[in-house]
Amino acid sequence: MTLMPPDRQRTYRELVEGKTLVQGELNGSHFTPKKRMANPENAKWYIRLEAPDYKTGNTYGTWWGEVPNVRYPDGKTFYGYIDEWLNHWRQVFAPNHQYFFTQPNGKPFKASSLKELIRRVFYRLLDVPGTPHILRKMFITYLYEKQVPGHVLDSAALAMHHSRHMQAQSYNRQEQSDKLRPILTLTVELAQQAVGSQT
């Protein structure tokens, strides 16, 4: 939820290795699974969602998202942690399902149990309530506050499976004064240029 633009909680709950979480190489719209690659050590992880797998799938169709392979201070990579989870730790919980993530009791996450997990993390780190959906709003609000270029906002909208209109209306939680600041700054600059050209 922090390495990629945050997705809807359903995506995380329903991740299944080999179905919605796949490893290989994506070139355009052609995917080569790791076992068929000439150099399998170059394989990347992807989240692949078909239309029925997500809320706006009928609008956006098949969606691919590359999972970044971040290196952590301990020297391990995110892909290394994925492998460690799949090859060792997941089995410790003896899950009774095929989903990537599992609760400590071996049961799959439900919307309520994932929401509760995220809420506890928010309280532990920030002493405030939070939900998976709030992460989406926080991410978009941050992008608007940083005044990232339009093409980045377009990319974020696509990554989060919604339109720029939905992004601006439902996810950007800036105060009105913050939303107005860029245009006010620009008009002052234009006015100063106009005054400067008259002298």
Rounded average pLDDT over 178-182: 85
Neighbours of 91 (CB within 10 A): 11
pLDDT tens string 57-107: 999 999 999 999 999 999 999 999 999 999 999 999 999 999 999 999 999
Secondary structure of residue 20 in the 3-state scheme = coil
Q: Which pLDDT does position 178 carry in this prediction?
A: 85
**Which residues fall within 8 angstroms of residue 61, CB to CB, at 6 or more apart?**
51
As a whole number of Å, the CA-based R_g of the chain is 21
Q: Higher confidence at residue 129 or residue 113?
A: 113
Q: Which pLDDT does position 83 carry in this prediction?
A: 97
Binned at pLDDT 50, 70 and 90, residue 199 comes out as low
CA distance 103 to 90: 10
Smallest Cα–Cα separation from 4: which of 53, 56, 64? 64
CA distance 182 to 185: 5
Smallest Cα–Cα separation from 64: which of 49, 43, 78? 49
Q: Which pLDDT does position 157 carry in this prediction?
A: 96
- Rounded to the nearest integer, the mean pLDDT of the chain is 94
Rounded average pLDDT over 15-29: 97
Secondary structure of residue 25 in the 3-state scheme = strand
Binned at pLDDT 50, 70 and 90, residue 195 comes out as confident
Phi/psi at 171 (5° precision): -110, -25
